[in-house]
Structures are given as C-alpha cells and as structure tokens.
Amino acid sequence: MSAVGQLGAASQSAAPPPVERSGRRMTAYLLLLPGGLWLLLFFVVPLVSLLAASLYDPNGSIENGFSMTWHWQNFGTTMADYWRPFGRSLWYALLTTAFCLLLGYPLAYAIAMRAGRWKNLMLALVIAPFFTSFLIRTLSWKMLLSDNGFVVDALQWLRILGPDGRLLATTAAVVTGLTYNFLPFMVLPLYASLEKIDRRLIEAGGDLFAGPVTTFRTVTLPLSMPGVVAGTLLTFIPAAGDYINAQLLGTPKQRMIGNDIQRLFAAGAYPTAAALSVTLMAAIVVLVLIYVRRSGTEELV
C-alpha cells in the first residue's frame, strides 16, 4: 500500500548509479534472473496464450478441445454482443476515478499539509481498511445501502430520494462501492506528491498577493500533477476490470465486462472470454498511453 504511494516518489529519487565493470553487471543480471523468469513465465507467456485463445475456433469445447483457426472474427462478434457492458465498465471506471479524485484530494491535502503530528496516524487510517477483506467491506456496503438502512432513510427524509427510492441495486450503489474500494489507491500517490512540495513555493504565492484559490490553482495543483496522474491510473485500471461491486451491489442491468469474462470462462467459452479480455487490456493500454502523453508525465515508472 505504501508501495502505491511511492510509485511516483521512487522514480525521481533513483538516479541511475555510475557505469560499472562487467563483473558487477553480471551480478545485476543474476539478481534479476529468478524474479524476471517468474514474470516472464507467469505474466508475459500467459498474455500470449490469452491472445492465442482469443483466436481459437469458437465452436470448440472443453471436452473436444479447441483448435487454432486464427479466428479474428471473434473480436467482431464479441464486441457486437458485449459492447454495452464494455462501455458501461469504462463509464463506471471514469465516474469512480472522478469521485475518488474529488474525495481523495482534500484528504491527501489534509494529511500532507495540515495533519501535523497526526500525519502518520491518518495515513495508517487510510491504509487500515485494506486489512479487512475487500469482499466483506463490499458486503457491508450492501447492508449500509439496503432499503431499510439509515442511509436510505436519511436521504428520503431530505427528499433527495423519493419515498420509494432505493440505493441498492442501482448505478449509484455500484459506483459508491467502486469509489470506496479504490479510494486509498488515489489518496496514497496524491499524498506522496503533495508531501514533496516545497512549502516556501506556496508561501511565495501568498507573498505575491495571490489569494488562496489562485495559489492553489497556479502552484499547488500543478506541482501535485504526478500524484494526480498516478492516482487516476491506479483507480481507473482496477475499477474497469472489477466485477465484485457490480455483482454484490447492482443488478444484471449494472453488469460490467468483468462479470461476463468471469462467467464465460467458468462456462468454458474460452475463445469468447479471451477475446473480451484481450479487448479490455488493449482498450486500457490505449487509453493510458493517450492520457499519459497528454498529461505530459511520462516519468511515472
């Protein structure tokens, strides 16, 4: 979890060490070998076999086996069938990222700038929810948002919800759950980059007669952009692939692409499921590349 926060931090502080003798260089390769092999065998090779599986003959089955027929049409047919949950996933992930930024920025700012000696405690509190299982927390949202729960009662009393209005089994519930689950992934990188800002720059803004709002807009916000970029990526990517929130807090109308991929794999429809999975990965890679390029912070890793 602190790892996520340090994503941005690690890159800039780690200047490459000086050029080395060839013996030391061999040591580097030896150190990388076991972990690198693991990633190669169980991350890269699987991606290749996923791509291969997406091109299998869709008429195969687990019993009779699948044959490789370079069936590129799989991508077309799956998109025709599943473009709705696919678009919905990206839309929910976008909403989630926006809400996480809206909620996470004030919290990260409060911890980095205002918390004083409570800084470490507040950071620990941000990480603490991780220690109760993701699923159990999502289930307790199901209870909090249930029709006779106090959140619905309060919103009905405030006339925000109609007397028959409900939260559970709506888009709002799914996005609330997603926002909740991925909020720490937004807060930690934001905190890491806000923490590093030289306070004197902010004071200088005030000295030059900028109001707090102008100082924030022209000094603090631009300087925290690496955190914003890292945080939005770390929220958007897992949110787009999630299906737990849609399953537990929504109805089939809120179904996300993850629900379908999981269901199709479980049913043994490998070519279709693999094609959907490859499309999701490709869409995310393209979106991330565009986003990183436009926001101008390629120094992310």
Partner 1 sequence: MTRFGRFIARNFVLVLGFVVLLYLFAPIVVVMLMSFNAPKSRLSYTFDGFTVDNWLHPCRPFGLCDAVSTSLRIGLLATVVATALGTLMAFAMVRHRFRGRSATNLFIFLPMASPEIVLGSSLLALFVSSGFGGRLGFWTILIAHVMFCLSFVVVTVKARLAGMDSRLEQAAMDLYANEWQTFWRVTFPLVFPGILAAALLSFSLSFDDFIITNLNAGTTVTFPMYVWGSAQRDIPPQINVIGTAMFLLALIFVLAGELGRRRRERTRS
Q: Is 84 in the site for partner 1 (CB under 8 A)?
A: no
Instruction: Name the E strands within the chain.
Output: none
- Enumerate residues 6+ apart whose C-beta is below 8 A from 81: none
Out of 79, 135, 201, 208, which residue is the one contacting partner 1 (CB under 8 A)?
Answer: 135
Helices and strands, counts by H and E, the chain? 15, 0
Q: Is 95 in the site for partner 1 (CB under 8 A)?
A: no
| Other beta carbons within 10 Å of 149 | 16
Q: Is 80 in the site for partner 1 (CB under 8 A)?
A: no
Which residues, numbered 22-51, are part of the site for partner 1 (CB under 8 A)?
A: 24-25, 27-29, 31-32, 34-36, 38-39, 42-43, 45-47, 49-50
Q: Is 67 in the site for partner 1 (CB under 8 A)?
A: no
Distance CA 271, CA 278 (A): 10
Q: Is 244 in the site for partner 1 (CB under 8 A)?
A: yes
| CA distances for 22 relative to 15, 17, 27, 232, angstroms | 20, 14, 9, 40
Q: Are 104 and 190 in contact (CB under 8 A)?
A: yes
Instruction: Provide, rounded to whole angstroms, the least separation between the CB of residue 196 and partner 1.
Output: 12
Alpha carbon 227 to chain centroid distance? 14
Q: Is 208 in the site for partner 1 (CB under 8 A)?
A: no
Out of 229, 233, 246, 269, which residue is the one contacting partner 1 (CB under 8 A)?
Answer: 233
Instruction: Provide, rounded to whole angstroms, the least separation between the CB of residue 211 and partner 1.
Output: 15
Kindly indicate which of the ranges 71-79, 133-141, 199-207, 219-227 contains the residues binding partner 1, using the contact rule CB under 8 A: 133-141
